[in-house]
Structure 1
Amino acid sequence: MDVDRTTGGDVSPRLSVVLADDHLVVRAGMRLLLAQDPAFEIVAESATLPETFAAVERHHPSVLVLDLTLARQSSLRSIPDLLAASPRTRILVLTMQEDPAFAREALRAGATGYLLKEAAAEELLGAARQVGEGDTYVQPSLGARLAVTGPDLPGTGTDGALTAREVEVLSLLAQGHTNQEIARQAHVSVRTVETHRARIREKLGAETKADLVSAARERGLLA
């Protein structure tokens, strides 16, 4: 359930945080830890993907602390849509998955940080602050193993900047589908499709429909 924890009266700028984890005890621990630091303000908690989307769309938090599994559903593929719903939100994945492949996919999908639940309390605070301020944070033990895949991560070239969902939207746009048709096929809102479309245009420098079709052909998305 989306638990609204917005507070008022603080004149100091703070990093608003949504905690998304399906274990109440884990959320309670994170809440207690972050609440002790005046840099953070916990605005909501969630235990499922629908609740997380609702919390993000309502609060547009600075940071979303996200577990990779919520109520037996993988949240990995939802990262692009969460970012589309709140483009300014930074996602810090907090998980037990120590396989670097998960970290690589989370970063490619648009997450800004990846931290294991075994991390020390101070590391969580530091990671949340770093991510909230716009920097990338990766668990040090995973950093070395991810270094060799740097060229494939977001922000390392124009082609690599497209997320999996943006590639899907680009393909459907190039095939002539309307925003409404794409929304139905992708099971997202028309507004989310419009956000993806705007991001695709910006990343590819595509101003016209012909530019989008050309970009899709270059990526093998059209016959």
Structure 2
Amino acid sequence: MDVDRGASGEAAAPHLTVVLADDHLVVRAGMRLLLSQDPTFEIVAESTTVPETVRAVERHRPSVLVLDLTLTGRSSLRSIPELLAVSPRTRILVLTMQEDPAFAREALRTGAAGYLLKEAAAEELLGALRQVAAGAAYVQPSLGARLAVAGPEDDDSLTAREVEVLSLLALGHTNQEVSESLHVSVRTVETHRARIRDKLGTETKADLIAAARERGLPA
């Protein structure tokens, strides 16, 4: 097999194309600056909404999609299978502030190759990008330990959707507002709310806020 080589005779570094999906301009600017310093990476598109991201991935078929879990007020978690359907070879690295293991578990279950918190150092981000592009999985070590300890069958372990509902309720949204935000029925929100109450004992607004804060969610 032929391999491109530089003047030194060593194999050239792989060329990895990247789509950035994040609705925060500052985050994207920081990513552009970081990746521009490494010739391995080329940012081919940026997006701020789920539909934009699907179109960008379908058009460019990047090596890696760096995906925030919230894009312009909408969860992108449920879009992971669709993104992989339009570009099966694209590897998805979730880069988020959501540190609850339920989000990481659901993202990986639905097809993401990696899960990294935005607090990670620049070197870790670059390493995670290379690792998922090479076909391996990557989970931030501190979060991976929590996943291993919690396990998927813990009685008080919330699903990713339940975490989303908890976060919105803790911020003061009504069941109707939660249903509109997550594109589900009010009855579904009520069901999730009942399960959250059963698992965590959240009877009051103060209980919801406390439970959200324990999981690093805004409240």
**TM norm structure 1:** 0.61
Aligned equivalents of 1:32, 1:137: Cα separation in 2: 22
Match of 2:68 in 1: 67
Match of 2:39 in 1: 38
| Deviations 1:133-155, CA, capped at 9 Å, x for gaps | 11100011111122257799xxx
Alpha-carbon spacing, 1:149–1:134, altered in 2? closer, same or farther (3 Å): farther
Deviates more, 1:55-64 or 1:11-20: 11-20
Letter in 2 for 1:101: A
Mapping of residues 97-176 of structure 1, within 5 Å: 97-147=98-148
Letter in 1 for 2:110: A
Alpha-carbon spacing, 1:150–1:63, altered in 2? closer, same or farther (3 Å): farther
Match of 1:181 in 2: none
| Deviations 1:84-135, CA, capped at 9 Å, x for gaps | 1100000000000011111000000100000000111111111111111111
Letter in 2 for 1:115: L
Match of 2:83 in 1: 82
| Deviations 1:43-94, CA, capped at 9 Å, x for gaps | 1100111110110000000000000000000000000110011000000000
The gaps in structure 1 that reach 5 residues or longer are: 1-10, 153-223
The gaps in structure 2 that reach 5 residues or longer are: 1-11, 154-219
Aligned equivalents of 2:151, 2:31: Cα separation in 1: 30
Alpha-carbon spacing, 1:122–1:77, altered in 2? closer, same or farther (3 Å): same
Deviates more, 1:143-152 or 1:98-107: 143-152
Match of 1:16 in 2: 17
Give the number of equivalent residue pairs: 142
Aligned equivalents of 1:85, 1:149: Cα separation in 2: 33
What CA RMSD, in Å, does the superposition of the two structures yield over aligned residues?
A: 1.7
Aligned equivalents of 1:140, 1:38: Cα separation in 2: 27
Match of 1:7 in 2: none
SS at match of 2:95: strand
Mapping of residues 171-190 of structure 1, within 5 Å: none
Aligned equivalents of 1:37, 1:114: Cα separation in 2: 21
